[in-house]
Each structure stands twice: as C-alpha cells, then as structure tokens.
Structure 1
Amino acid sequence: MATTSTLTQQKKPERSLSPWQIARKKFFKNKLAMISSAFIIIVTLLSLAAPFLAPYLSPIPDVSKVNISSMNITPNSDHWLGTDKSGRDVLTRLLYGGRISLLVGFSATLLVISIGTIVGSIAGFFGGFVDSMLMRFTDFVLNFPFLVFVIVLNTILMGIIDGLWVLIIVIGVLSWGGVARLVRSKVLAEKENEYIMAALSIGCSPFKVIVKHLLPNVMSTIIVQATLIFASMIVVESALSYLGFGVPQSTPSWGNMLSSANEPDVLQGKQWIWMPPALIIIFTILSINFIGEGLKDALNPKSLR
C-alpha cells in the first residue's frame, strides 16, 4: 500500500495541450503541407538572395541590360535557363522576378486582410445602422469591374506613386470585400457567447472586446483565408503583368517574363523563355493552396482532439 501511495504521489498529471499547440502538431503531420512549406521557403530565400547569387549563376547578372550578342541563347553551362530575346539571362530574371511577384502578393494580401478584418469586425460587432452602411459599401466595392478599375486607377496614379506600389494599393483596395463579409459572419456568431457579454458587462470598451476577445477567436479563419488570398494575388499580378497593365515592363516579374509568350515564335520555338516562369507560378500557387488546406484542417475546431 505504501509503494502504491508513493507511485501515485510521484506520478504527475499529463499536461493538456492548447488548441494552437494541437493545430501545430496536426499541421506538422501533414506531409503535403510540409513539403509545400519547404518549397515556398526555398523559393523565397532564393529570391531574396538574388543580388548575391546572380553574379555566380550567369555572366550577365544585370536583369535589365540588353545584350544583343547574347539574344535567344538556348540553355547551356553559362546560361542554365538560356537568355531571352533581349539577351537577358532567364534564371537571373526568374530570381529577381520572384522578389517582385512575392512582394506584390504578400503586400496586397496584407492590405486586403487588414481592411477586410477592420471593416468586418466593426460591422459584425456594432450591427444595426453601422453594419448596414458598411455592408452596403462593401457591396459597392464588390460590384466594381475589377480589371477595368485596375487599369484606370493604375494609369491615373502611375505618375504620382511608384508603379509597383500603385499595383499593390489598387489590388488591395478593390479586393477586401470577401474578407469583410467572412469576418463579419464569424464575429456575429462569436459575439453571442457568454464571455463577450461578460466583458461588456464589466465595462470593457468595444475596441478592447474586438481586439482581445473577438479577433483571437476568429484568427484561425483569417489565417486560412490569407493563404488563399496570397495565392490569388500572385495570379492577379501575373495576369495583369502579362496583359501589360501590372508591374512596369522595366521591372522583372514572373508575369512580365510570361508576356514574352505573346509572340508566336517564342511560344512555339523558344520554350525556355516562358516555361520557367510558368512552372514556378504553377508550383508556387499549388504549394500555397496545399498550405492553406493544411492550415484549414489543423485549425478546424471539430478536429482538435
């Protein structure tokens, strides 16, 4: 009996894991999400290190300088991915283009999530007249013909702000409506819980209730939505740049590299010029979507066991 009592006293109770710790363990067990995360990290690091890697990867590290003597060279030991019609190294432009495409995608996503979260949380928390006005404004933004307004605003603001940031601002300002609606619906459901009523009853300000109580409980939804928006923003940048209304042509981006495929001779006989950016866009979008699916599964409250 004494031995049993001693063992009982020495045995420590198991520590329960928080929902975030459980979600992290579930995400790490998702092989597809982890492989996708590794791919995104590698692409990001290579893009950030482009100024240091370019001199070692190509005898033409300048991404904008035209080299007539090196036009349309097929992939070889000097130019691993060949050169384009202006004699610029494709691999070097691919690395520098990743910096721009990922910057546009991340910055636009941050802007979209920020505006959408602020509008949605305010509308959902206060309700009534405030909710009605903000949602009608959201509907107004959602009804904008996206492509037309991007082209018009990009043209108007091009001489005032740097072309890259014009694109980021225009995309962000026109794309937050879906996030606002999603956050509003989550806040409307969450604010009916007892802990929100208790916080209000002891005199917490609306700002404190939203920031400290509501947003942490809808953060998992916002994180998953951010990954999906990140992927769509990269697609939008590539599509607009391909059409000539995105990143300025003098700035390398994956979309600008794809614009070379407009020419039939390049599309049919010089695949090394447009295939690398096309493949990197495809794999990047797939990886981000797999990460989003992994986060969605890991943060699902019904699966936190």
Structure 2
Amino acid sequence: MKVLVIGNGGREHAIARALSTDPAVTSLYCAPGNPGIAEVAELRAVDALDPAAVRDLAVELGADLVVVGPEAPLVAGVADPVRAAGIPVFGPSKAAALLEGSKAFSKEVMAAAGIPTAKSYVCQTEDEYNKALDEFAGFPYVVKDDALAAGKGVVVTEDRQAALDHARACGRVVIEEYLDGPEVSLFGITDGRTVVPMMPSQDFKRIGDGDTGPNTGGMGSYCPLPWAPEGLTEEVVDTVIQPLVDEMARRGTPFAGLVYAGLALTAKGLRVVEFNARFGDPETQSVLAMLESPLSALLSAAATGTLADVPAPRWRTGAAVTVVQAAAGYPGP
C-alpha cells in the first residue's frame, strides 16, 4: 500500500512513524512534511491548502490511501477532489469538516442528535455578547471563536471585560456555560457508519505549569487514564460519537475519518466540550505510541467503508507521555 500523509506537524510525524513500521505499507510519502518525518517517509512539496495540488500529487504518486492530518486542509476541502479521483481518503469532506470549522454548526448538530453539551448562544453583536455574558455571570466565562483558530480561539476567564474583548476580536462567537470536572479526549475512527474508539487520553491546553496562562493548541498529553470511570469509552461511543455519525449521515454529509470528542466529566455527567474532525495534537503522539496493531488497516477501512470488518485495535501495556516544545512567545497575540 502506498500512503500519502498531508501535514507537517508533530501529529503527522506520529502518524508517519506508526505507518512506517506497518508491514502493509510499501511506500510512505508526506507533504510537505518536516525534518523528523523525513527520517521515515519521502517528503514532497505541496500547498496543503490547495485541493487540486494535493489531488495531483496523490495521482502522480499512485497513492492507495491519503491521510489528511490537520484541520485547515480538511475545512478547505482537500479530501473532496482526491476522493473524486478514485483515491481513498482518511478525512472528512469539506461539508462534514464544518463540524470543526464552525462551533455554531457543531452545536446545531449536537442539539439535533441529542448529544449532551454545554448550554450556549451564538453571538455576533454587542447586545448579544452582553446578554450571553449576563446569562453565565457568576462562573468563568467561556467564549469560543466560531471559526478555526488553531486551538487558540477559546478564552476561559472570570474577567468579563477580557471575555467581551475576545468576542469583539473574533466577531462571531459561541458563548457557553462553564463545564466543571476533568477533560478527556477520545478519538473515534469511522467510515460514516461504524465507530471504532481509540484509547482515551488527556491533554493540557494552557501554556504555563500548573495549568496557568492562555489556551494553546496543546502543551502535552498522556494515556491511558487510570482515573477514568469504568465504561467511559463505551458511554462516549453510545451517547456521543455514534449519534453524531448517524446525524451527519442523516443530513446527507456522512463523516468518514476521525471524530475527536473533547469531553468534560462534570458533576452532572458527561458533556461534550468540542468536536474536531481529525486526530488531536498532541494526544495523537501519546495514543499512537500505545497502539500495537497496524494503523493502516483502520485508516484504509475507514476510507473505504469497511470498518466493520476490521478487528478492534490492540494496545500496549504501560503509558505514554508527550511534552510539547514551543517557540518563545507562543501562543502570542
């Protein structure tokens, strides 16, 4: 199997490393890649946000599978022309990737599917901002940029002015109730019908030690979670990911790829914090380090609609921890 991975981050490095030791993978390419990925895959230059360029590269390489790593190419619609060329793609269509591309759309889908999440309001005027902030006064304010923001579009603060300033800077936002309790990340691989869960993990979003400072794209992660309640994975699949997949199919925009469910285990029960349309970074680095069975079988089956025929993943014993190094000043203004 010839596999092309799209992306250039630590997440794509982890995916490429897992695929490089997979006996089913005969040729491995990454575009544009990075120096670490170059140790395990052949790099090719491409504009990852140009759907036609990605399609042309996949055709040129004779790829049997294209794996799209980051969210921006998915939201830009990179998967669509590759699929149209007859090449299986692990990653949702542009229409389905709106699940991550718009927080408001994600909330709409959750409401339609009966998925438990925080009470929220979609706001884009000064009056709407203030009414929503009034609603949630007395608790930390949660303001989320409606559009993609590389994990840095969310502000959680007790400072009302800071919350208002963030809303003004973003324009269209989702303002929602604060969810207490620890957070969990759970990946669900899906072909649009079947869902195969991965190992639950936890990431650390704030820049500083002791969970301080502004949110980032993620400063570290670990798995497994010895403190997680028994049956958590099954509960998430049954009440969150499968209903989501079913609702997307009902809308005529089936989701094939990876559903990342960001969850809060609150005093009132499980709640969805967010959905993403791809492997999380840095959780992927930890989760794939624990995966013992071949990754390509899962990704290929999800891309070809045959996930029900693939055995459940096997996991190594032990634990994995990821620590992120970032440039000075990150996440910056």
User: Scaled by the length of structure 2, what TM-score is found?
Assistant: 0.23
Structure 1 or 2: larger strand share? 2
Structure 1 or 2: larger helix share? 1
- Greater relative contact order structure (CA < 8 Å, 6+ sep): 1
